Amino acid sequence: MAGPGGKANPAAQPKLRLDKWLWQARFFKTRDLAAEVVEDGHLRINGQRCQKPGHGVGAGDVLTFAQGARIRVVRVLEIGTRRGPAEEAQLLYTDLDLPGSDAAASPLE
């Protein structure tokens, strides 16, 4: 990051606040709910626990967090510019959850 009078790094990847990205991608109804999940330590970025809603997230980051009774694992594709319709929000990430997986299912069944 460039300081006052410094030059911006052209190779630097754009970032967006974590709570804002989660809200824009429609994982949470409000930014406050997204921030609460992060502050409570229930979210990981690239495997590392994050408790700062203002932490920057960008393309390529992998987020792991609880959403209701489900554990979500998503890869950020874009940071987005607004909270649009669901179809637009789904373009911001790739869902890495295994299809048909259920947290309550036993591997022995």
**Going from the N-terminus, what domains does the chain have, and what CATH number goes with each?**
16-95 (3.10.290.10)
3-state secondary structure of 67: strand
Q: Report which of 15, 11, 9, 12 is spatially closest to residue 80, judged by C-alpha positions.
A: 15
Which H or E run includes 89? helix 86-89
Q: What is the pLDDT of residues 2-17, one digit of tens each?
A: 567 767 676 778 999 9
Condensed to tens digits (0 to 9), the pLDDT of residues 14-56 reads 999 999 999 999 999 999 999 999 999 999 999 999 999 999 9
- pLDDT surpasses 60 at 102: no
Decide if pLDDT at 92 tops 90: yes
